Chain A
Amino acid sequence: MSQQGLLSTTASEWIKFRTVRSTLYTIAVTVVLCVGIGALVSFGRGSNAGPSGFLPDPTRISLQGFGLAEISIGVIGVLIITSEYATGSIRSTLAATPRRLWVLAAKVVVLFFSTLLVGEVCAFLSFFVGQAVLRSKHVDSATLSTPGALRGVLLAGLSLALLAVFAMGIGTMLRHTAGSVTVYVAILLVLFLLLAALPSNWQHDLAKFLPEVLTASMRAASPTSNEFSSFSPLTSTLVLAGYAVASLAGGAAVLVRRDA
């Protein structure tokens, strides 16, 4: 290769990603949240099920921990870029790779595939642990061959990777860790609360666009009997991917224009 490109820049970003402790800590927290809360919720739901042992969508029950893991995975996404501004290392990075969009692309590649791996590990672990808990309670449980279960597990993992990239876009636009995490969490949680202030027919139309509702739909093995209507799992995935792309585009515009 005669000049810098995605390959060399990605090799560099991969070294940077895996050589700070915060990455490892946050991944560990994410796995614990996913599997631990998934097991707890499965235990609770399994204990409270009626005598028939009926549970709506056992797959989704075992993946309940993802709601909180979405926050820790967002922190990874934010930190991959804001830690560079906080420490001043962004200047070393951009002096080494002045084509700034290569830096952004390399970070996306490293972040997306790392968090996808973490997400899928979380999803399969949560599923197997959660279903084992449900089986021990002799209530409805799922296997990977249950219709929609494998899709729910795979998309649950993917949802974390897409949210991490979404968070990275926010971090690239704002450049400050605390501010970016706050905005990310606000989009995840506060929007949901604000929705309650809207007229009910608006709630009905807008709820399905909220990240929380999108990821819940992605995790579901069977259509959810929610109070809100939601998109199908695949449409939800596309909408969430659209958010990630839009956030990155905003980040790219800021990164290219502003002084380092």
Chain B
Amino acid sequence: MIEARNLTKRYGSTTAVDDLSFTVQAGIVTGFLGPNGSGKSTTMRMILGLDRPDKGGATIDGKPYGSLKWPLREVGALLEAKAMHPGRSARNHLLALAASNKIAKSRVDEVIEFVGLTTVSGRRAGGYSLGMGQRLGIAAALLGDPGVLLFDEPVNGLDPEGIQWVRELLRSLSRQGRTVFVSSHLMSEMALTADHVIVIGRGKLLVDDDMSTMIDRAGTSVIVRSPDAARLSTLLTAAGAAVTVTDDGALLVTRSEAPAIGDLAAREGIVLHELAPQRASLEEAFMALTKDDVEYGGAR
């Protein structure tokens, strides 16, 4: 379990992470979403004790990261790809990490094989592709067989097959009862992997909810076409719905449902040519959610 309490990080006059509190539970995949620059990586670095929060703190199973006895055996992390010396081979990079936490050498070869780097593990990491670098980073995260895992944008640079492999990996790790915390700036990616989502924008917590609730909350809209659109629009607005007129003259109605709109039209004797519920995509919901924060960021 990861717990963040009132995490705050300022860089000069900019507040990168703003009073952020959340809990990441074991046994599920928790997605950590936000636009680029919203503070996801900074938050992860603070959890790992790499950056010092200006206020608040984070704990792993109740303990601050710095007080873990053998950190890599309790927490594995994939930070930005290629957090390694380009002149050192993958195997030597992992051997050095293993030695620092007294992890058996045999485990190094195990994780190398697991991520599929066996044939290239003796080559200098500088020559690796982005995808191979990601796989090496994932191998490093799994090295100590930890109960808590953090992945910062793990699918970056991976081919479709690699992306599929990471999704499966995250799910199977969570099924084993581990805590899996994975960041992404793509809602659609998280929709396929995460059971729970934490959304931040400009360092502030926006959503902390189950994925299914998030999908429900994305909500629906209804496209309505009628020869008497103007009168219907007035009546719907009076009834509490939000109506916008699309380019081709149809009404896009939110905060109401298709049956209610149909009933109202029948009561008022208004002819309807179309009454079509639209399910908003999760990506759109995410964009709408973080739009203000992104715009605010752009305006500054």
Residues of A at the B interface (CB closer than 8 Å) are 1-4, 8-9, 11-13, 15-16, 19-22, 83-84, 87-89, 91-99, 257, 259-260
Secondary structure dominating the interface of A? helix
- Confirm or deny: B51 has a beta carbon within 8 angstroms of a beta carbon on chain A: yes
CB-CB under 8 A from A95, the residues of chain B are: 48-50, 71-72, 75, 77, 79
Given contacts A11-B99, A20-B88, A89-B84, contact A2 B69 (CB under 8 A): yes
Q: Mark B46-66, 1 if CB is under 8 A from A, else 0.
A: 001111100000000000011
The reply to whether A20 and B79 form a contact with Cβ atoms under 8 Å apart is no
CB-CB under 8 A from B84, the residues of chain A are: 87-89, 92
- Confirm or deny: B83 has a beta carbon within 8 angstroms of a beta carbon on chain A: yes
Pick from B89-97, B179-187, B197-205, B219-227 the stretch touching chain A.
B89-97
Q: Roughly how many angstroms separate A242 CA and B52 CA in the complex, as a whole number?
A: 31
Q: What's the minimum C-beta distance from A17 to chain B, rounded to whole angstroms?
A: 9
Q: Roughly how many angstroms separate A12 CA and B98 CA in the complex, as a whole number?
A: 8
B: number of interface residues (CB 8 Å): 35
- Confirm or deny: B87 has a beta carbon within 8 angstroms of a beta carbon on chain A: yes
Q: What's the minimum C-beta distance from A78 to chain B, rounded to whole angstroms?
A: 15
CB-CB under 8 A from A2, the residues of chain B are: 69
Q: Roughly how many angstroms separate A4 CA and B100 CA in the complex, as a whole number?
A: 7
CB-CB under 8 A from B93, the residues of chain A are: 89, 92
The reply to whether B65 and A98 form a contact with Cβ atoms under 8 Å apart is yes
Given contacts A15-B96, A95-B50, A260-B51, contact A1 B102 (CB under 8 A): yes
Q: Roughly how many angstroms separate A13 CA and B85 CA in the complex, as a whole number?
A: 13
A–B complex contacts, Cβ < 8 Å, 10 sampled? A2-B69, A4-B71, A13-B96, A20-B85, A88-B84, A91-B83, A95-B50, A95-B77, A98-B68, A260-B51
CB-CB under 8 A from A4, the residues of chain B are: 69-71, 100-101
